[in-house]
């Protein structure tokens, strides 16, 4: 079974493929025949869970949160 990392659970992320905001659930390694690729399991605004390459998402910070820091 693949080990999953839940340390960043609930972090807002921007999906670079769809330009939509979601929440990170966990990070894990997807083992292919010749390599391991870092993947993340996320949830979109509609509550649909999806898996995506870690390189295809980035942390998202609201302008509201930046202004109040």
Distance CA 69, CA 67 (A): 6
Q: How confident is the model at residue 64 (pLDDT cuts 50, 70, 90)?
A: low
Identify which of 50, 3, 49, 9 has the alpha carbon closest to the alpha carbon of residue 28: 3
Mean pLDDT of the residues in the chain: 88
Q: Could you tell me what percent of the chain has a pLDDT over 70? A: 86
Q: Report phi then psi at 63, rounded to 5.
A: -60, -35
Please compute the mean of the pLDDT values over residues 29-37 and round it to a whole number. Answer: 87
Q: Which residue ranges form the domains of the chain, and what is each CATH number?
A: 4-67 (2.40.10.170)
């Amino acid at each position: 079974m693949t080990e999953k990392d839940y340390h960043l659970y609930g972090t807002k992320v921007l999906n670079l493929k769809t330009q939509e905001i979601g929440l990170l659930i966990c990070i894990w390694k997807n083992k292919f025949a010749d390599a391991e690729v870092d993947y993340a399991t996320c949830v979109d605004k509609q509550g649909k869970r999806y898996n995506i390459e870690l390189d295809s998402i980035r942390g998202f910070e609201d302008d509201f949160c930046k202004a109040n820091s």
